[in-house]
Structure 1
Amino acid sequence: MATPDATPEDSTNAAGDPMEDPTVVAIRAVIDPLIENEKVIAAGYAERARLLAELDRLGHQPRIIRGLCGDPVESGRDDPDTQAHGPAWNDEELSRRCMAAEAAGVLRVTATTAGSMVFNAARLTDDLPLFHAALTRGSITWGHAMKMLDLTEGLPEEILPVFEATVLPAAETLTSTQFVRVAGRILDRMHPVPLQERANAGFVKRRVVMKPDVDGMAWLNAYLKADDAQAIYDRLTLIATEVTDDADTDPATGTDATVPGRTKDQRRADAYRDLLLDGVGPTGLGHGIRGTVRLTVPALTLLDRSDEPAILEGYGPIDPETARQIAGTATSWTRVLTHPETGCRLSVGREQYAPPADMRRYLQIRDQTCQGIGCSRRATLSEIDHTQPWNTGGATSVDNLVHLCKPCHRLKHQSSFSTSQGPGGALTWTTPGGKKYTFAPAKTDPANYPGRPLGRVNRTVAVPVVPPPPREDEGPPPF
Structure 2
Amino acid sequence: MTALLDATDTQMANLAGLVESLRVAEATLSSMQAARDGLLAIAGRLAIEIARQGDHPDRGDHSIRTVAAEIAAVQRASDRTVERRMAAATELVDLFPSVWAAQGEGRISAAHSRVIVDAGSHLSDADRLAYAAILVPLAETESPNRLRPLARRIAERFMPTSITSRHRKARLARRVWVTTGEDGMAALHTHAPAALVHGMFDRLSQMAHSIRAHNLRAGRDARRYGREFDADDRTVDEIRADLLADLVLTGSPVAHDSADALLAEIRAHITVTIPVTNLTTSDDEDTDGDIDTDSDDHTDSGSHTVGDAGTDTGDSVSLRRPATRSRPGNSAHAGTALRPSPAELDGVVPIDTDTARHLAGNATGWDRVFTHPLTGGALTVDRYRPSTHLRRHLRARDTRCRFPGCGIPARKSDLDHTQAASTGGGTSDTNLASLCRRHHVLKHHTPWHVEQGRHGVLVWTSPTGRTYIDTPPAQNTVTFTSAAAETAPF
TM above 0.5, yes or no, is yes
- In 1, Cα distance between equivalents of 2:379 and 2:241: 46
For 1:384-413, what per-residue CA distance to the aligned partner results, in whole angstroms no more than 9, with x for missing partners? 223233444444443332111222112112
Tell me what 1:103 maps to. Answer: 71
Letter in 1 for 2:273: T
Q: Could you say if the C-alpha distance between residues 30 and 424 of structure 1 is closer, same or farther in structure 2, counting changes exceeding 3 Å?
A: farther
For 1:399-433, what per-residue CA distance to the aligned partner results, in whole angstroms no more than 9, with x for missing partners? 33211122211211211011133333232322213
Check the 8 A contact 2:456/2:471 in 1, yes or no: yes
Q: Could you say if the C-alpha distance between residues 315 and 342 of structure 1 is closer, same or farther in structure 2, counting changes exceeding 3 Å?
A: closer
- In 2, Cα distance between equivalents of 1:433 and 1:146: 32
Tell me what 1:142 maps to. Answer: 110
- In 2, Cα distance between equivalents of 1:308 and 1:209: 27
Q: Could you say if the C-alpha distance between residues 288 and 211 of structure 1 is closer, same or farther in structure 2, counting changes exceeding 3 Å?
A: same
Check the 8 A contact 1:338/1:362 in 2, yes or no: no
SS at match of 2:362: coil
- In 2, Cα distance between equivalents of 1:423 and 1:29: 58
Check the 8 A contact 2:123/2:158 in 1, yes or no: no
1:152 pairs, out of 114, 120, 128, with 120
**Number of aligned pairs?**
392
Tell me what 1:302 maps to. Answer: 279
- In 2, Cα distance between equivalents of 1:173 and 1:202: 31
- In 1, Cα distance between equivalents of 2:102 and 2:27: 10
Tell me what 2:354 maps to. Answer: 321
Letter in 2 for 1:296: T
Check the 8 A contact 1:167/1:183 in 2, yes or no: yes
- In 2, Cα distance between equivalents of 1:224 and 1:279: 20
Tell me what 2:145 maps to. Answer: 177
2:239 pairs, out of 261, 264, 267, with 267
Which one is further off, 306-315 or 28-37? 306-315
1:440 equivalent in alignment to 2:476: no
Check the 8 A contact 2:452/2:459 in 1, yes or no: yes
For 1:88-116, what per-residue CA distance to the aligned partner results, in whole angstroms no more than 9, with x for missing partners? 96352221221222233244443332222
Check the 8 A contact 2:273/2:347 in 1, yes or no: no
Alignment of 1:197-236 (within 5 A): 197-236=165-204
Deviation at 1:317, TM superposition (A): 2.7
1:411 equivalent in alignment to 2:442: yes
Deviation at 1:284, TM superposition (A): 6.5
- What's the C-alpha RMSD, in Å, of the aligned pairs? 3.1
Letter in 2 for 1:58: L
Tell me what 2:318 maps to. Answer: none
TM-score normalized with structure 1 length: 0.74
2:86 pairs, out of 115, 118, 136, with 118
Check the 8 A contact 2:73/2:468 in 1, yes or no: yes
For 1:306-328, what per-residue CA distance to the aligned partner results, in whole angstroms no more than 9, with x for missing partners? 73322322753322221001111
Alignment of 1:362-381 (within 5 A): 362-381=393-412
Which one is further off, 212-221 or 396-405? 396-405
Letter in 1 for 2:280: L
1:292 equivalent in alignment to 2:269: yes
Letter in 1 for 2:431: N
SS at match of 1:280: coil
TM-score normalized with structure 2 length: 0.73
Tell me what 1:239 maps to. Answer: 207
Structure 2: give runs of 5+ residues left out of the alignment.
1-7, 219-229, 258-262, 282-290, 292-327, 329-339, 382-386, 481-490
1:388 pairs, out of 419, 427, 432, with 419
Deviation at 1:259, TM superposition (A): 9.2
Letter in 2 for 1:281: P
SS at match of 1:403: strand
- In 2, Cα distance between equivalents of 1:317 and 1:56: 37
Deviation at 1:454, TM superposition (A): 7.7
Q: Could you say if the C-alpha distance between residues 344 and 274 of structure 1 is closer, same or farther in structure 2, counting changes exceeding 3 Å?
A: closer
Structure 1: give runs of 5+ residues left out of the alignment.
1-19, 70-87, 248-257, 346-355, 446-452, 457-479
For 1:12-40, what per-residue CA distance to the aligned partner results, in whole angstroms no more than 9, with x for missing partners? xxxxxxxx933420211311111111011
1:190 pairs, out of 158, 173, 179, with 158
Alignment of 1:463-474 (within 5 A): none
- In 1, Cα distance between equivalents of 2:73 and 2:446: 16
Deviation at 1:265, TM superposition (A): 1.5
SS at match of 1:158: helix
SS at match of 2:42: helix
2:388 pairs, out of 351, 354, 357, with 357
Runs of 4+ aligned residues of structure 1 deviating over 6 Å after TM superposition are 340-343, 453-456
For 1:134-192, what per-residue CA distance to the aligned partner results, in whole angstroms no more than 9, with x for missing partners? 11111111111111221123322231111111111111111111111111111112211
Tell me what 2:366 maps to. Answer: 333
Alignment of 1:24-173 (within 5 A): 24-62=12-50, 90-173=58-141
Letter in 2 for 1:441: P
2:251 pairs, out of 256, 259, 279, with 279
Higher normalized contact order (CA 8 Å, seq sep 6+, divided by chain length): 1
Check the 8 A contact 2:378/2:397 in 1, yes or no: no
Tell me what 1:468 maps to. Answer: none
- In 2, Cα distance between equivalents of 1:293 and 1:281: 20
Q: Could you say if the C-alpha distance between residues 380 and 343 of structure 1 is closer, same or farther in structure 2, counting changes exceeding 3 Å?
A: closer
For 1:426-451, what per-residue CA distance to the aligned partner results, in whole angstroms no more than 9, with x for missing partners? 32322213333322222369xxxxxx
- In 2, Cα distance between equivalents of 1:180 and 1:293: 38
SS at match of 1:375: coil
SS at match of 1:204: helix
- In 1, Cα distance between equivalents of 2:144 and 2:403: 35
